[in-house]
């Protein structure tokens, strides 16, 4: 049992799930955020709970595609040259991890975390009355040529190695599964069956936070500035300078964790893989998309959401809070209109989010070295909506000194801090 007052900073999926877990372990938990729960990165993602998302972007074959990516004109990856020059250390470390041994370690770690997380989401969605938001019909990777399909062999081998169920589809089988797609554009596709998705990741996060509050948890809306040691515990200081005392603190501020840890003199090697989304009305015709699809050639994911069809983009490496540059969304929209009938845009401006990414593409989950009572849970890159729940389970075990449900070592802060 955890008989202490704990502040969880950040009410995205990672913070909310952590607050729920620590509460269930007996702690008196306060969840703190400047916004209501689930309104930032955990709102705007593609909503996929993907057993297949094991491959870090810096897999060993990155070297082959690097020259094309460095041209800085693809829909999959754009980067700010100024950002990359200022973050050269991160970039070099990221590339240094594009090796077979790092790949094996990361894929095994993410597989364990995602399996744990998926089971936890199923439980929490049931407990919070949101089971109807969960689809269990997988997602589909679309390939615009046979050569493109062949180049995805490492991904398929990795999924096979970890027992992820998949089925290769030709154009006709794809059309049977998703009649809305212009299947002639996609001679090959891969249906990843072991994958779930939700119709509103923001609502799921908010629903978990409501359950936390209903079970006696406290939610506090405050912009936070820093922490100060106070005896055995910590003062959390907000922007007005007001201090609140807690025995233990969990930093789960997603992409803003880097800036916040900087106020404590800790340099977190995190980059921001920014991405955009826009909702669209369904196009003409009776057929509707049944599950998320990832058009590998168009470099976008299209997910059916309660707001409409959510088109989300690839990666833009840039400062966390630099002005939006939604060029990739324009490209993705053109590509998506080739793939299926897409109606009008439903919002005036695209949404922008940031995937918080550490050089080995694994989050930090565990104790902050040398600062007793300070715990870290951030850096969940492309899979934080999926893995917030497993993160919570792992951190709960670490904080209570219990046996951990999965190996905690690949996630420890000492890798970088
Ligand atoms: C385009 C896109 C698509 C994605 N698709 C998927 C997907 O399909 N599946 C998947 O698993 N993941 C996906 N991701 C990744 C996933 O969304 C993130 O990894 C995850 O949401 C991170 O959650 P978090 O709780 O760490 O951060 P967040 O959800 O960003 O939460 C951090 C919280 O901290 C608060 N905060 C920050 N600074 C302060 C401060 N100073 N004071 C107070 N509060 C503060 C913010 O308000 C915010 O609520 C996607 C990401 C993007 C950008």
* pLDDT of the residue at 1: 76
- Once rounded to an integer, what is the mean pLDDT over residues 368-385? 98
Segment 165-207, tens digit of pLDDT: 999 999 999 999 999 999 999 999 999 999 999 999 999 999 9
Helix then strand count (H, E) for the chain reads: 13, 23
Query: Is the CB of 200 within 6 Å of ligand 1?
Result: no
Q: Is ligand 1 within 6 A of the CB of residue 360?
A: no
pLDDT at 263: 98
Residue 17: predicted pLDDT: 98
Q: Is the CB of 273 under 6 A from ligand 1?
A: no
Domain boundaries, the chain: 5-43+203-269+360-415
Return the pLDDT at 3. Answer: 83
228-275 pLDDT, tens digit per residue, is: 999 999 999 999 999 999 999 999 999 999 999 999 999 999 999 999
> 179 C-alpha vs ligand 1 centroid, how far in Å?
33
- Per DSSP, the residues of 138-200 read -EEEEESSHHHHHHTHHHHHHHHHTT--EEEEEHHHHHHH-TTS-GGG-SEEEEE-SEEEES-
Tell me the backbone φ, ψ of residue 269, rounded to 5 degrees.
-80, 80
Task: Identify the residue whose C-alpha is closest to ligand 1 atom 25.
Answer: 12
Is residue 164's pLDDT more than 80? yes
6: number of CA atoms within 13 Å, CB side? 33
Band (286; pLDDT cuts 50, 70, 90)? confident
Mutational test site, ligand 1, from 35, 254, 320, max ligand atoms within 8 Å of CB? 254
The answer to whether residue 380 scores a pLDDT higher than 90 is yes
Q: How far is the CA of 252 from the centre of ligand 1 (A)?
A: 9
> For the purposes of burial, counting CB atoms within 10 Å of the CB of 348, is it exposed (0-12), middle (13-18) or buried (19 or more)?
exposed
Contact present, 412 and 282 (Cβ < 8 Å): no
* pLDDT at res. 7: 98
What's the burial of 204, exposed, middle or buried (CB within 10 Å: 0-12/13-18/19+)?
A: buried
Question: Higher confidence at residue 138 or residue 68?
Answer: 138
Gap from CA of 355 to ligand 1 centroid (Å): 7
The CATH T-level fold of domain 5-43+203-269+360-415 is: FAD/NAD(P)-binding domain (3.50.50)
Q: Which tens digits make up the pLDDT trace of 106-135?
A: 999 999 999 999 999 999 999 999 999 999
**3-class DSSP state for residue 112?**
helix
Q: Are strands 233-238 and 293-295 parallel, antiparallel or unpaired?
A: unpaired
């Amino acid at each position: 049992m955890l008989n202490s007052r704990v502040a969880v900073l950040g009410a995205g999926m990672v913070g909310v799930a952590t607050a729920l877990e620590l509460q269930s372990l007996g702690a008196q938990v306060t969840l703190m955020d400047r916004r209501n729960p689930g309104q930032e990165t955990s709102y705007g993602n593609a909503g996929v709970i993907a057993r297949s998302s094991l491959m870090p972007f810096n897999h060993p074959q990155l070297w082959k595609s690097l020259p094309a990516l460095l041209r800085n004109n693809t829909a999959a990856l754009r980067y700010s040259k100024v950002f990359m020059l200022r973050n050269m250390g991160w970039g070099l470390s990221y590339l240094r991890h594009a090796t077979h041994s790092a790949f094996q370690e990361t894929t095994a770690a993410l597989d364990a975390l995602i399996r744990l997380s998926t089971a936890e989401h199923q439980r929490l969605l049931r407990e919070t009355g949101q089971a109807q938001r969960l689809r269990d019909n997988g997602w589909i990777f679309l390939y615009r040529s046979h050569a493109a399909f062949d180049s995805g062999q490492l991904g398929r081998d990795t999924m096979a190695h970890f027992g992820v169920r998949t089925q290769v589809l030709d154009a006709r089988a794809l059309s049977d599964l998703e009649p809305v797609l212009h299947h002639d554009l996609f001679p090959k596709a891969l249906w990843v069956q072991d994958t779930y998705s939700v119709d509103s990741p923001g609502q799921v996060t908010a629903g978990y936070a409501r359950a936390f509050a209903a079970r006696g948890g406290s939610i506090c809306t405050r912009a936070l500035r820093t922490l100060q040691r106070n005896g055995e515990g910590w003062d959390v200081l907000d922007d007005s300078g007001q201090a609140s005392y807690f025995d233990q603190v969990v930093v789960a501020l997603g992409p803003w964790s880097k800036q916040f840890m900087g106020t404590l003199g800790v340099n977190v090697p995190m980059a921001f893989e920014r991405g955009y989304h826009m909702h669209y009305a369904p196009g003409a015709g009776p057929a509707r998309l049944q599950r998320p699809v990832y058009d590998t050639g168009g470099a976008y994911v299209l997910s059916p959401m309660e707001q409409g069809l959510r088109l989300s983009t690839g990666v833009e490496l840039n400062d966390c809070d630099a002005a939006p540059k939604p060029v990739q969304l324009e490209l993705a929209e053109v590509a998506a209109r080739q793939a299926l009938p897409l109606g009008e845009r439903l919002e005036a401006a695209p949404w922008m989010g940031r995937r918080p990414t550490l050089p080995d593409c694994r989050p930090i989950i565990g104790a902050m070295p040398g600062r007793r009572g300070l715990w870290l849970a951030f850096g969940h890159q492309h899979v934080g909506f999926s893995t917030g729940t497993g993160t919570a389970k792992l951190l709960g075990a670490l904080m209570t000194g219990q046996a951990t449900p999965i190996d905690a070592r690949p996630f420890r802060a000492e890798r970088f801090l």
